Structure 1
Amino acid sequence: MPLLYQWRAGGETRQISDRTIRLALHETLRESGITDASGNPLDFHPHDFRRIFITDAILNGLPPHIAQVIAGHNNINTTMGYAAIYPTDAIEAHQAFIARRRAIRPPEEYRAVTPEEWQDFLGHFERRKLALGDCGRAYGTDCIHEHACVRCPVLIVSPAERPRLVEIRDNLADRIAEAEREGWLGEIEGLSVSLAAAEEKLTQLDAQQERRDTPVFLGIPAFDQFAARTSDVQEP
Structure 2
Amino acid sequence: MTQYLARPISKGALPAVLALLMTLLALPAAFAEEEGLYIETLNHTSGLMGETPTEELSKTYIAYGKMKVASSKSDGADMILDPTTGTMTFLNNAKKEYYQIDVKSMMEGMSQPGMEQMRAMMEKTQIKVEDTGETRKIGDWDCTKYEVTKTGMMDIQQEIWAAKDVDLDLDRFNNLMSMSGPNGLLGDSAAAKAQRAEMEKVKGYPILTKTRMQMMGSTMETESEVKVIRHEPMPASMFEIPDGYTLKDMMAAPPSAAGHP
Give the TM-score of the pair, scaled to structure 1: 0.16
Q: Please state which structure has a larger fraction of its residues in strand.
A: 2
Greater relative contact order (CA < 8 Å, ≥ 6 in sequence) = 2
